[in-house]
Amino acid sequence: MDLIHKVMNIVLPPITLTLILLFLPSFLVFKFISCIKRYITSERVAGKVVLITGASSGIGEYLAYEYARRGACLALAARREERLRAVADKARMLGSPDVIVISTDISKVEDCERFITKAVNHFGRLDHLVNNAGIIQIDMFEHCKEISDCAVLMNTNFWGSVYVTRFAIPHLRKSKGRIVGISSIAGWCSVPKMSFYCASKAAITSFYETLAAEFGPDIGITIVTPGVVESEMSQGDFISKAQMDFVPAESTERCAKAIVNSACRGDRYLVEPSWTRMSFLLKVLCPEVMEWHLHWGNINSSASPYCCEAMDMTTKLMNILLPPIALIVLLLILPPYLVLKFLGLIKGFIYSEDVAGKVVLITGASSGIGEQIAYQYARRGARLALVARREDRLRGVASEARKMGSPDVMMIRADVSKVEDCKRFVDEAMKHFGQLDHLVNNAGIPCVCLLEEAPNISDLNSVVDINFWGSVYGTYFAVPHLRKTQGKIIVISSAAGRFPCPRASIYGASKAALISLYESLRIEFGSDIGITIVTPGLVKSEMTTGELRSKAKVESLPVESTEDCAKAIVDSACRGDRYLVEPSWVGIVFLFKLLCPEVLEWCVHGLLFSSAPRNLKKAA
């Protein structure tokens, strides 16, 4: 298998690039024709049933008005019933033939099931589901007084969408309906002081990308990534606290109209306003430039609030002017930037960090990648703090690490999903060693199932609790100690966090949230703490053995050895890399997602259902 990976790392990139160059022109022509067709045959929603969450204000309120103007029947859900009634009255005046209001808290599973049932019982069907409800939190990561309190944001922004979607799927299948998921530009353009908000929105984007690949043509999905929009979330001291005074806020009405137009056309993605996609281009081509800009802008921001009177005119001008200007600037800065990046890469190889005698804390160290990372650090003479739930397995790993050269190894039995356990293992490591140099957030569990197959949707919470919060809690308590040593954080995400993987919507979302959170933290920390984000492909471990591979329909993909993957991770961390994709050929799939997302969706959907049972195909 390792030989196959070495061959693929060499052969696959040039073959793929050649295929893309040959295939891309015809694909773009096909996409252009499809775009024209969607404009001509835009869906008429008169008389159709639309359910909107978070409809009491902001984008959700104006989405209700926009659907009402087109004659749709509305089910409006939010916590503030008085505000909902006012929105419902106006929606009726604008042309909606029937509007019901449902007071609900979408962070509660039972509430989500109740309002879906109530809407379907009242109207007899469901055509569009708009998951818009969300909250925001603005604060530096280290300034959070109680880190466990931040879970409220993920519960509302992410789990609220998951729960509602789960209960709506059977009804949307019957009507060949559509889901509109309101994410945010912050989901792929991480910003400081909003790490948890960014993570929740990245999770939403990943979740719906996977569902789009799983559903195929049965249920349409439109993923919306708005920029700064004038609403309750962006009023008051939001702009100044987030230090985004220089960004023009788009009017809520204009944004809502663009969203409904996009949903009726059947678009896969909507970036609104369109000029904000330039930030994505900058992130892909020059991620360090964006990080430096946001870090120093966050520290030295002195911009005055943007005048809101001409917001929409400004947005229109920026939609026209910014793309060509940004492309010209990129063409000018890209050559010197690539030279600097190449020199930095050489410097990283020459001046790789010597970890002999340094202290490394590794979570999930009882098996798999975590176990092999422990051995790699041991061979380099590092002192180790190994954390996992299975103490008997930890003892075996610790014994082997001592034989390989680690001068001191301690074991700590802990559950990373519990905030008190995370505080305890960091405190115990500090008490024993007196310092902390590297934190390796590796603990994770798999989840391979279709969302519809989950017997109890709330059981899936453990995936995010361990994969996401397990890393967050450990990092929160370790940061003060890592600042003292100018240390590093190595976070083990997954390729599933970058692109859709069949039957892994929740797992992929948890890993996408990790990537986004640590990209935000990298901006906040600057050069004080290094962060290496690792996105492995399929690696031989307990998570990829047995029936998991067959359930995920990835038996045909080669699996990399855990030892090779761990060696690459430790090498990358010692070089101070920002990102590591291992094996490197997996990065080609990300390129496909950027250039031809529809093709990747078709491939994943075909892979998922090529050998599916007949009854599942019929249900799909």
Residue whose entry in the numeric block shows the structure tokens 């050929």: 585
Helix and strand numbers (H, E) in the chain are: 23, 14
Match 């893309």 to its residue by tokens.
20
Q: Is 326 exposed, middle or buried (0-12, 13-18, 19+ CB in 10 A)?
A: middle
Return the bridge partners of 361, or none: 385, 439
Give catalytic residues, as residue numbers.
197
Nearest to 261 by CA among 229, 228, 224: 224
Alpha carbon distance 486, 439 (integer Å): 12
Count other Cβ atoms within 10 Å, centred on residue 38: 15
Per-position DSSP letters for 382-441, written without gaps between them: -EEEEEES-HHHHHHHHHHHHHTT-S-EEEEE--TTSHHHHHHHHHHHHHHHS---EEEE
CA dist 135 and 157 (Å) reads 7
Give CA–CA dist 314/296, Å, rounded: 25
Residue type, 63: L
CA-CA distance, 464 to 477, in Å (whole number)? 19
Q: Helix (H, G, I), strand (E, B), or coil: what is residue 118?
A: helix
Q: Around 156, how many Cα atoms within 13 Å sit in the side-chain half-sphere?
A: 18
Instruction: Write phi, then psi, for 213 (nearest 5 degrees).
Output: -70, -35
Nearby residues of 512 by Cβ (< 8 Å), 6 or more positions away: 202, 203, 205, 206, 493, 497, 498
The SS3 call for residue 334 is helix
The H or E element containing residue 48 is: none
Q: Residue 529 and residue 523: Cα distance in Å, rounded?
A: 10
Q: Sort strands 383-388 and 359-363 into parallel, antiparallel or unpaired.
A: parallel
**Nearest-angstrom CA–CA distance, 474 and 424:** 10
Indicate the burial class of 513 (C-beta count within 10 angstroms; 0-12, 13-18, 19 or more): buried
CB of 369 closer than 8 Å to CB of 539 = yes
CB 451 within 8 A of CB 499: no
CA–CA gap between residue 206 and residue 187 (Å, rounded): 9
